[in-house]
Structures are given as structure tokens and as C-alpha cells.
Structure 1
Amino acid sequence: MDDASKKLDSAAIENLRTYLRIPSVYPNIDYEPCLKFLKIQADEIGLIYNVYRPVKNNPHVVLTWTGKEPTLGSIILNSHMDVVPVFEDKWSHKPFDADIDEKGDIYARGIQDTKALGIQYLEAIRRLKQSGYQPKRTVHVTFVSDEETGGLEGMKLFVKTPEFKQLNASFALDEGVLSENNIVTAYYGEKRSWKFEVHCAGQPGHGSLLLDNTAGEKVQYLLNKFYEFRAAEKKKIQELQYTDHITTLNLTMIRGGVQANVIPPEFTIVIDTRVPVEKFSDFEVQVNQWCKEAGTGVTIETIVKDDNAPNTSVDETNIFWTAFKSAIDGMNMTLKTHIHPANTDGRYLRGAGIPTIGYSASTNTKIRAHDNDEYLNADEFVSGIYRFVKIIPALANA
């Protein structure tokens, strides 16, 4: 590698560290420092900079590289600016200092999810532009908000705006999951997220009495059903060795009670589920049946229920998939396809009719997204840039 390339790669690492030092963490995120940083990047690289605000405090940044044939459907390269909270006392490094250790590992909240991804897009484009390459299709690099709380006031609204539709997107890349080895995964769809509260009303009274029809008994019945189902799904994972067709279910909150010697009139439990698209209708019927069986006064209140978004075709009928796969194959990397185990903004893009693949260009990295000591090695970050140098032209010329 020549000195110019080394200098460019060192600058890319520093750009990443600068972005990571912006604490765009919930709650009450101030996105303006991210916007200022991205405006500098757009000016340096030579990209058109726009900001859209379907919700006042949730901006979406679009950096545009105009193609030679701009009437063709464009390519979106998506990541999000927001990051999840930290438990700072559990970190070995300050989570927003972007420290680098002696092995070259950079520690920072958001480096895996998804700030490194956004910078890899931009640094790949920087190198492509410096080489004199111009894409056939226009490429939009999008940095969106509100992904980590479900995107309900983020991408879900943005895809419905006239400004988004004017991007004329035909295909998108969004976040995937980092690989812990040399095998990379393309995610062509997602499970439907259904988060709901179950309100269990019952007979209140003195804590010394064995009353009938109490809220607690109804909670017990439901939790037994939920955890029996959960255990069966865990057993399927051991048999199948992957989670594409597995429903995940977790109890995340319990509310109720006034004091230790009073049977309360209601308990509420909160359940988080991620359900394969093809199983959703049957699962919803089953949950409602369990609630009916639990007794009178049991009601469900939905917190989040995803719309049904189509999966992206991963065969020769999809020219963008063919182009993406050819680029990966050309780098002698092993590629697998799966349903994403969690939820991303990709579901809203697919729901808007845009075929979308979730992909992370970083490999050989322990997955620590949302975890303490989230990290990425600097060399692996740079390697990801050069993978996108191959992938972006393949997509833009499809």
C-alpha cells in the first residue's frame, strides 16, 4: 500500500472516531452535531447535501452522488445516527471517547450499530470519486434518526414523504449483523415485531384472603402459556441451528400493585415478540385464545405491530441481488442468506416497495452491538471500506 492510501485510511479512521464522539444517544437526542459533521463530509467528498424533517426533532440526512443516467432507479445506502444508552460503569473505556487500544480496537457506543457502516459508505465513495469513477445510477447515502426506538417517527414516516419518493430508489442496502468469522450474511427479510401489553383485571382485596378471580392468577396462566411456547421455540433453534423461522418471545415489564398486603385490581405484563411473516396470523390467533382462556377482564393493547413487508428476492430475478452476490463472490468471501434476527429500518424500505438487503462489511469481530465495550478493529473497519469499493459500483451499474 502506498503512502497516499495509508494517509487516506488514517483519515478515514479519524473521521469515524469524530462521528463516534457525538453522543447521539437516547433520550433527548441532539442530532445537530451529526448534521454538521455530515455536511463537512459531503463538502469534502463532493456530494449533494439535504436534510428532511418529517418530525421536527428527527432529521434525515441524504448525501447524493448523481449518476450518469439519473432517470434510472437509484441506490440507497442506509444507516442510522442514533445509538442506544450505555451503562458506563460496565465499560473498560469511555463509551464516547472512541479510544483505540494497542491491538487497534476502537471502543465506542454505536461503532457496530451503525456508525462505522455509514462512514464505510462515505469513505468508499471518496475513493471511487478520486479514481474518476462515476456511477450509472444515482447513489443516495442516508443517515436517519429514531431507528433504535423502532423507527415509528423515523424511517416509517420518511418513506411516505414526497421528498423520499423523489429519491426514485430501486434498491437499498441497510444494516446487517457483523460476522464473527469470514462468512458474511445477507439479510433479505425480517420478522414482524409485535410488542403488546396484556391487562389482567381481577378481584381486589386483603392480602390474607384466598379470593377467586384475582389478577395474579390470570398473569400466572398467561406466563405459563408464554414460557411453554418460548421453551418449544428454543428447542427448535437447537434442532435447526438458525432462527429464520423461529418466533422469539420475552417478558419485558410487569406493572401493578399498591402495597404488600393488598391484592390489586390489575396487573399488566408487557411482551416483546418477533414473528416470522408466514406464522404471524396463527400466532396472533393463539395469543388471543390464551388471553380468553385466562379469564374475564383480560385485554390486549398493542404497542407496536409491524406491517407485513415482503421479503427481497435473492435469486436471478433480482438484478441487484445478482450484482451484489457477484461482488461478494469476486472477493472470495462465503455468502449466506438469512432472515434478520432483529428489526431494522430495512422493513420500512421493503414495505415501500424497495428491495433491500441487510449487510455488514465488517468480519472477524465479536458481536457487541447494544452491549458493553462495543468495538471494531481499525484494520477491519478499513477492510470494510474496500469491500464497499467493489459493491457500490456493482449495484450502481446493475
Structure 2
Amino acid sequence: MSRWNDNEEIQILRKYLRISSVHPNINYEPCVQFLKEQAANLNLPVSVCYPVNDKNPVVIISWIGSDSDLPSIMLNSHMDVVPVFEEFWSHPPFSANIDESGRIFARGAQDMKSIGTQYLAAIRALRRDGIEQLKRTVHMIFVPDEEINGTYGMEGFVATKEFTDLNVGFALDEGEPSPTEDLILYYGERSSCEIEFVCYGKSGHGSLFLKNTPGKKVQFLINKFMELRDAEEVKLEKNANLGIGDVTTVNLTMMSGGVQNNVIPGELTIVFDIRLAVDVDHDEFYHMIERWCEEAGGNIKIIYQSKDPKSPVTATDDTNPFWIAFKNATDELNLKIVKQICSGGTDSRFLRPKNIPALGFSPIWNTPVRFHDHDEFVYADIYLEGIEIYKKIISKLASV
């Protein structure tokens, strides 16, 4: 274990992981101070902006390129992590303890503080190799709020002058670890849609057959959405070439209402979490939902708790020079890349609609996926290998 304790990059990672930037009520100031220290270590300029409010900073560390007029490369990561249930962890979740096999246990070890420090480490390695500048400017961006929809983070940031001034031409963002030797690459993602239906109707005594009750409307909508869910699940099961990101998922997540067990209520509420596949026509989908509400009997309030716009996919062919550079780098390293549509959501969904090609990538391989799970960890040796992978990828991308 001493060889890991003596490794500078492992100690930098552990220091970052020990910062408890966990939802809710995060204080990001320790992360900001840590990142300022890293910028000073690299002798690179750092700036901090607050796109939405003074509690959610965006940290920008920049390595200016020799041709700074060219669109820049963005290396994006988020500082926030999801809550923990400490009683289910074998090590304290913000201790960054290393066991005998080199597993570093901490919330954020996979999602995604490790990626942020690998960016820093890769640039440190390039500069130690004597490279003073790459062709394009590289901006390392550390954002807040990604784990709770990015409203105060990337979504707000892309609307600012500070973002525009970065002149971003391509972005690397969050990927997914792989339990095998295949590395996963996200080139697009589904659109998140969380819909609340408030169904109003006739109320009265629970012993009667009343017409147009909220319960019947809820039943109608649930049946319609579950039919859609079943059809998409069958589509996935019957086509081995499809992944979960290639279909639309539908799940009933909340139900509420009622005042007493013998009273038909005048109002019932249901909520669905829907992730629209990239080939879905959004206008057609939302018109279908409105039609279902009318067919159910009307007088149903539709509340969109989230409603992502349709996000384009990033080209992974010869039309995209950044893809070619990425592919050349991974080919030279003999890495096998598996392209997927992201089944969840990342900050790239705010970049692609602005015509910024973005790829989601994580060099964590041969590791059980522990996103949002207990005992999240990264192997120290795998982490160090990932630095070498990013070193090659970043130099190729910035040389386009």
C-alpha cells in the first residue's frame, strides 16, 4: 500500500474525495480552494464565476493554446456528489481509505471527482514532458449541481458571457465505468421528462358508482403509460443491438391524494419519470399526452417538473474531426470503445443543443459500477492508467 501512499496523484485524488460536497446544502468553498491550489500547482490561470447565485460556483482552469483563436477544448466535471447511507459502507464515505487491493473508497470515486483530478493529472504529465502549449486552449471546468439537474450549474453557465468567451468547440464530459475491458463512450443522451398529472373529478360517498371520478382518470392514464412502457421493454428485449439508452423508459414514481377511506376524493395526483429516446418526436409525444388527458375525461392539470429539449447526438464518423482525434488516441492505446446513448442525463445535454459536440467518457475499467451505490470505489492502479489515457486523448483533441 505504501506505493500508493507515496504517489502524488493518488494523494491529490484522496484530498478531493475527502471534501464532503454532498447534497443537500453543499458548501462548495472547500472545493474551490482545492481547485485553486491545483491551478497554482500547474501554474495555470483560474477563475470562478457564479452563473445563477452566490452558492453555486463554476471553476475554470485554463491552459492557453498556441493558437488561442481556435475553438477550445472543454474538459468538464462536476463537484457535487449524491447523498450516502453511511451504515451500508465498509469504509467512511468521505475518508478515501485504501484497502490492500488498492481500492479507494469514497463517494465521488467514480461519479465523478476522479475524472476531474485525472484531467489535472494528465495536463501535469504533459507539462512535465516539456509541452508548454498545445495547439488549442484547454479549459478544465468544475461545475456544481449536476446531480440535481444542473439548473444552478451547467444550464445556467451556458447562458453566461463567461461561457461564450471560452469559445468551446468540443467537450469531454462524464462517462460510465465499465466492469469489463471495454470502455463506454456516450455520444448522445435521452431527454428527461418528469410529468405530474393532477386529476380532478366528481367526489362523493365511497359506496357509489360516480362518473368522471379522479380514480378513473388516474386508471386511464396509468394504463396508457404502462402500455407504452411494455412496448418499449419488448423492443429492447427483442433486439440485442439495442441498449437501455436506445428506448423510451416510463416509470410511475409517485401517487398522492385522498382524504378518508370512505370518501371519493375530488383530486388525485400521479407522477411519471420518462426518458425519451433520441428518435422520439417531442411535439408528437406531448400532443399524444394531451390527447390521453382528454380521452380520460378532461379536467387534468399537466405539470412538467422537468422537460428537456431534444438533444442532438454527436457525430462519431469522419464528419467530426474531434471524433477522429479521439478514436486515433484510443486506437493507439489499443482500447476497445463501445458507443452508447446515455440512459440517464449528463451536462452534455446543455452543450449539444448549442452545436458543441460532446462525448461522455470514463477511463475506469475492470471495475464494478458503483454510481450512487454504497462502497463506491476506484482502483488506484486503474486510476493511474486513466491518467495516461487522458494524456493521449487530450493531446490529440487539442491538436485538431
TM-score by length of structure 1 reads 0.95
State the shift of 1:386 in Å.
Answer: 0.8
Provide the C-alpha distance between the structure 1 equivalents of 2:6 and 2:172, rounded to a whole number of angstroms.
23
Task: Map 1:286-325 onto structure 2 (within 5 A).
Answer: 286-325=288-327
**2:23 maps to 1:26:** yes
Residue identity opposite 1:182 in structure 2:
E
SS of residue paired to 1:339: strand
Partner of 1:85: 83
SS of residue paired to 1:64: strand
State the shift of 1:171 in Å.
Answer: 0.6
SS of residue paired to 1:119: helix
State the shift of 1:278 in Å.
Answer: 2.3
Q: Post-superposition, which runs of at least 4 consecutive aligned residues in structure 1 deviate over 6 A?
A: 6-9
One of 38, 59, 65 as aligned partner of 2:35 = 38
One of 50, 54, 77 as aligned partner of 1:53 = 50
State the shift of 1:112 in Å.
Answer: 1.1
One of 64, 69, 72 as aligned partner of 1:71 = 69
Provide the C-alpha distance between the structure 1 equivalents of 2:287 and 2:268, rounded to a whole number of angstroms.
22
Partner of 2:258: 257
SS of residue paired to 2:145: coil
Task: Map 1:1-398 onto structure 2 (within 5 A).
Answer: 10-55=7-52, 56-133=54-131, 134-241=133-240, 242-281=243-282, 282-398=284-400
Provide the C-alpha distance between the structure 2 equivalents of 1:90 and 1:247, rounded to a whole number of angstroms.
32
Residue identity opposite 1:167 in structure 2:
L
More deviation, 388-397/197-206: 197-206
Residue identity opposite 1:357 in structure 2:
L
State the shift of 1:63 in Å.
Answer: 0.4
Residue identity opposite 2:25 in structure 1:
N
Decide whether the 8 Å contact of 2:4 with 2:380 is kept in 1. no
Provide the C-alpha distance between the structure 1 equivalents of 2:312 and 2:327, rounded to a whole number of angstroms.
20
Decide whether the 8 Å contact of 1:192 with 1:280 is kept in 2. no
SS of residue paired to 1:103: coil
More deviation, 185-194/76-85: 185-194
State the shift of 1:209 in Å.
Answer: 3.5
Residue identity opposite 1:39 in structure 2:
K
SS of residue paired to 1:113: coil
Decide whether the 8 Å contact of 1:99 with 1:106 is kept in 2. yes
Provide the C-alpha distance between the structure 1 equivalents of 2:251 and 2:56, rounded to a whole number of angstroms.
29
- In the alignment, structure 2 segments of 5+ residues that lack a partner are none
State the shift of 1:75 in Å.
Answer: 0.4
More deviation, 181-190/58-67: 181-190
Residue identity opposite 1:178 in structure 2:
P
Decide whether the 8 Å contact of 1:9 with 1:382 is kept in 2. no
Residue identity opposite 1:90 in structure 2:
F
Provide the C-alpha distance between the structure 2 equivalents of 1:238 and 1:357, rounded to a whole number of angstroms.
27
Provide the C-alpha distance between the structure 2 equivalents of 1:233 and 1:111, rounded to a whole number of angstroms.
33
Q: Quick one: structure 1 residues 127 and 75, their matched pair in 2 at CA, closer, same or farther if it must change by over 3 Å? A: same
Q: Quick one: structure 1 residues 206 and 94, their matched pair in 2 at CA, closer, same or farther if it must change by over 3 Å? A: farther
Provide the C-alpha distance between the structure 2 equivalents of 1:15 and 1:245, rounded to a whole number of angstroms.
37
Residue identity opposite 2:39 in structure 1:
A
For residues 358-395 of structure 1, give each alpha carbon's deviation from its aligned partner in whole angstroms, at most 9, with x where no partner exists.
11111111111011221111111111111001111000
Decide whether the 8 Å contact of 2:102 with 2:381 is kept in 1. yes
Provide the C-alpha distance between the structure 2 equivalents of 1:9 and 1:169, rounded to a whole number of angstroms.
36
State the shift of 1:11 in Å.
Answer: 1.6
Residue identity opposite 2:195 in structure 1:
F
Decide whether the 8 Å contact of 2:72 with 2:137 is kept in 1. yes
Residue identity opposite 1:300 in structure 2:
I
State the shift of 1:8 in Å.
Answer: 10
Across the aligned residues of Structure 1 and Structure 2, the Cα RMSD in angstroms comes to 1.7
State the shift of 1:207 in Å.
Answer: 3.2
For residues 196-226 of structure 1, give each alpha carbon's deviation from its aligned partner in whole angstroms, at most 9, with x where no partner exists.
1111112222334343322122112211221
Decide whether the 8 Å contact of 1:188 with 1:338 is kept in 2. yes
For residues 287-318 of structure 1, give each alpha carbon's deviation from its aligned partner in whole angstroms, at most 9, with x where no partner exists.
22222222122221111111222211111111
Provide the C-alpha distance between the structure 2 equivalents of 1:9 and 1:343, rounded to a whole number of angstroms.
36
For residues 296-342 of structure 1, give each alpha carbon's deviation from its aligned partner in whole angstroms, at most 9, with x where no partner exists.
22221111111222211111111111000000011111112221111
Q: Quick one: structure 1 residues 372 and 52, their matched pair in 2 at CA, closer, same or farther if it must change by over 3 Å? A: same
Decide whether the 8 Å contact of 2:5 with 2:11 is kept in 1. no
